Homo-oligomer: A and B are copies of this chain.
Amino acid sequence: MPGSKHIIPHTVNPDLEQERHGASFRVDEFARWWHGGAAKLRFKRELEQEMFNDMTEHNTLLHYKSHEEISEIALRQSLEVAKKLRAMQQRINPGGNDIWPKLYSAAAVWGAMPGGNPFGVHFVMMVEAIRTQGTDEQWERFGKRAENFEICGTYAQTELGHGSFLRGLETRADYDRATGEFVLNTPKLSAYKWWPGGLGHCSNYCLLVAQLYIDDEPKGLQMFFVQLRDEETHMPLPGIDIGEIGHKRGFYGVSNGFLGLKNVRIPRTNMLMRNAKVQPDGTFVKSPASVLTYFTMVMMRCVVTRDNATLLAMAATIATRYSAVRRQSPINPNEREPQIMDHVTQQLKLFPEIANAIAYQLSANKLWSLYHETYVDIERGDFTRLPELHNLSCVMKALCTADCNVGAERLRLACGGHGYLTSANMHLIVSSAAAACSYEGENTVLLLQVGRFLMKSWRAATEGKPLTPTASYLRGPARGETFGKWTGEWANIVAAIEYAAANKVRLAFESMSQRLAQGQTEAEAANGTGIELTQAAELHGRSFVAATFLAYVTGPTVSERSAALNRVLERLLELYLVHTALRHLSDILQCISLSDAELRSLQTRLESVLKKIRPDAVAIVDGFDFHDRCLSSALGSYDGNVYERLFDLAKQSPLNQEPVPKSFHKVLKPFLKSNL
């Protein structure tokens, strides 16, 4: 009877070995491709080695501890990672910033901070905002101190009463001409800052987003650099009410905080003034380009999209490996129970999510390219591509996080009961994905924005005006062109999804027009048409992902990959397109007619491609090249010693360290005896 830590074999589960042996392509080629080349893959592995080499305890054991303990551990671990990254930067590329702080929130280091990183926002947002929105003098005065981690802070925007609707923020900064100071206040409870990561107990400064008032006249949102706590004692400064907002579904150690301000005074020169300015006499100088303030949010949405594709790939890796190890329910009676991955219904849970993760990763790459191109444009004063980037980042963030949330949960369920165990780590991955649906722009709010953009695009299309590249598929339908014939070829499926998207846009536009004709305001009509607008936006985003995946797999990069790898990618594309067509079948059938045989063929193709992917499934997720510590899952480790690891981790529960818990004598025994 096994009962100790030494029960985990040093061998790989034979079923998993068999899977790897039977793959039709080389996993190392897949991994190099996935990570952008051999050098990048090698560096990622070196980074993981450096981050994880001295970690001994399984990450999921964290969850036996109290909230206070977890918070302290998260603090320690995040600083440990900072030290290691700085040391690597120093060793590999002294003076650069490509490792530190750039990789502080990268997926490869997540495994070193299972409680989350309370200083992520400090680097990703606060330091960056001071750099881009502050003056040189401000950068010298406090930006560098923040960058050097002498002080720690956060970006305090969201309030208890307002999130995605920024104009509704209630924190105010009143300019006092007499003293040359801003007076900061959260005039009521709903104005309290609420949510910023690290704000609770891991910040002594923050970048405060507040409504600027001069002579009680509002001047719009501005950013203010505010000291919150004494650097020596960490005591909150006068007028500051600060703390953490409490336990959450995930990110336990991130110290999300609240902040109330009562007549807190800061010097005028603490407002970030690279763009908008307040002069000593109270004259307000507007920003020359207000779009700049939201460019950071665009960047964040690109980050969120990429990270969520990674979360989905992590969940898919765990569930796929487990499905190769778990054997259950004979298909033919009296035969050996098959790997559960041989059940077709299980394949349908796993493989479309693998394809989704890849489709979103490729789309995120494309989004990043567009981001960098637009960045260069903007530096040259050319803002023409910004609306497209903005809307694309909105819809991609919304779709990817929503699909990742649903998909990761589907994969968790695909692990059966064991997927519910913390030692499986699945629900913690789902929890991270779930959070992303609400932060950096609530998904429905984002889809509605994109829907309104599509209304403008449709009008432009009907008027023959130019369209942004990703909306150019609207042109034909707006001219009244019909779809033509369903052939079911890849390009034809992409065209069908685009046509269905255009049809939804048209329907929404007609509903809008009808409401306007009835005398509703534009805003009322948009609200009334909200459901159709979000549906149109969803299909618009799906078209982009499908077109991107198709272009990638059939485009010029084909020659860079082996025939074997291309075949695997083609199967994943086939699955993605067929599955997406079935998912949106009612949208397609509303504007394109498919015969019974054609419908049948979609179902057959689905079943057929699942079968083709089956022998390569483990190798594909191996190709994502997740480190075991990144997955932190008893179900998903590379060696597939699933039951031994589940058992080993259970044995490490604090409650299992003694045969009889104290509570028996204190609580249970007296009760049972009283019933004799």
Residues of A within 8 A of B (CB): 1-3, 7, 60, 63-69, 71-72, 75-76, 79, 82, 148-152, 158, 160-165, 168, 186, 189-190, 192, 194-195, 200-202, 229, 231-236, 241, 243-250, 258, 260, 262, 327-333, 337, 342-346, 348-349, 405-406, 409, 412-413, 416-417, 419-423, 427, 431, 434-435, 437-439, 442-445, 448, 507, 521, 523-524, 527-532, 534, 582, 585-586, 589-590, 596, 599-600, 603, 606-607, 643-644, 646-647, 649-656, 659-669, 671-672, 675-676
Q: Is B589 within 8 A of A160, CB to CB?
A: no
Provide the bound-state CA to CA distance between A24 and B527, in Å. 24
Report B-chain residues with C-beta under 8 Å of the C-beta of A443: 413
Our pick among B168, B333, B438 for the contact of A337 (Cβ within 8 Å) is B168
A434 CB to closest chain B CB, in angstroms? 7
Q: Is the CB of B672 within 8 A of A151?
A: yes
Task: Specify which of B68, B195, B438, B665 is in contact with A413 (CB 8 Å cutoff).
Answer: B438
Given A7-B189, A337-B165, A643-B160, the answer on whether A422 and B246 have CB atoms closer than 8 Å is yes
Bound: A444/B654 CA distance, A: 34
Cα of A626 to Cα of B122 in the assembled complex, Å: 42
Residues A663 and B163 in contact in the complex (CB < 8 Å), given A243-B651, A247-B653, A421-B248: no
In angstroms, Cα B200 to Cα A656, docked, is 9
Partner of A79, one of B243, B431, B671: B671
Residue of B nearest to A523 (CB): B332
Cβ B416 vs Cβ A163 within 8 A? yes
Complex Cα gap A150–B676 (Å): 6
Q: Please name all residues of chain B whose beta carbon is closer than 8 Å to the beta carbon of A671 when the two chains form the complex.
A: 79, 82, 149
Residues of B with C-beta under 8 A to A260? 1, 3
Which B residues lie within 8 Å of A3 (CB)? 241, 260
Query: Looking across the interface, which residue of chain B has its beta carbon closest to that of A344?
Result: B530
Given A530-B343, A606-B531, A650-B246, check contact A669 B234 (CB 8 Å). Answer: yes
Closest CB of chain B to A423's CB: distance in Å? 6
Tell me if B421 and A438 are in contact (CB < 8 A).
no
> Which of chain B's residues has its CB closest to A582's CB?
B586
A64 touches B66 (CB 8 A): yes
CA distance A195 to B418 in the complex (A): 9
Contacts of A202 in B (CB 8 A): 668
**A249 / chain B contacts, CB cutoff of 8 Å:** 420-422, 427
Residues of chain B within 8 A (CB-CB) of A532 are: 603
User: Given A248-B421, A328-B168, A534-B345, are A235 and B672 also a contact pair (CB < 8 Å)?
Assistant: no
Question: Once the chains bind, are B672 and A150 in contact (CB under 8 Å)?
Answer: yes
Q: Determine if B660 and A234 form an interchain contact, defined as CB atoms under 8 angstroms apart.
A: yes
- A246-B423 in contact given A534-B345, A654-B67 (Cβ < 8 Å): yes
8 Å CB contact of A344 from B201, B234, B528, B607: B528
Do A332 and B524 touch across chains, with their CB atoms under 8 A apart? yes
* Cα-based distance from A352 to B181 in the complex (angstroms): 52
Q: List 11 A-B contacts (CB under 8 A).
A: A67-B654, A75-B667, A150-B672, A151-B672, A163-B328, A201-B655, A234-B659, A234-B668, A246-B650, A247-B422, A248-B422
* Residues A241 and B1 in contact, CB atoms below 8 Å apart: yes
B439/A417 in contact, CB under 8 A: yes
CA distance A230 to B578 in the complex (A): 60
| A600 cross-chain contacts in B, Cβ below 8 A | 507
Minimal Cβ-Cβ distance residue in B for A423:
B246
Name the B residues within 8 Å of A333 (CB-CB). Answer: 523
A552 CB to closest chain B CB, in angstroms?
27
User: Which residue of B is nearest A532, CB measured?
Assistant: B603
A275 to B589 alpha-carbon distance, docked (Å): 56
In the complex, which residue of chain B has the Cβ closest to the Cβ of A250?
B420
List of B residues within 8 angstroms of A435 by Cβ: 420
Q: A656 CA to B148 CA in the complex, in Å?
A: 28
Q: Give the distance to chain B from A284, nearest Cβ to Cβ, in Å.
A: 21
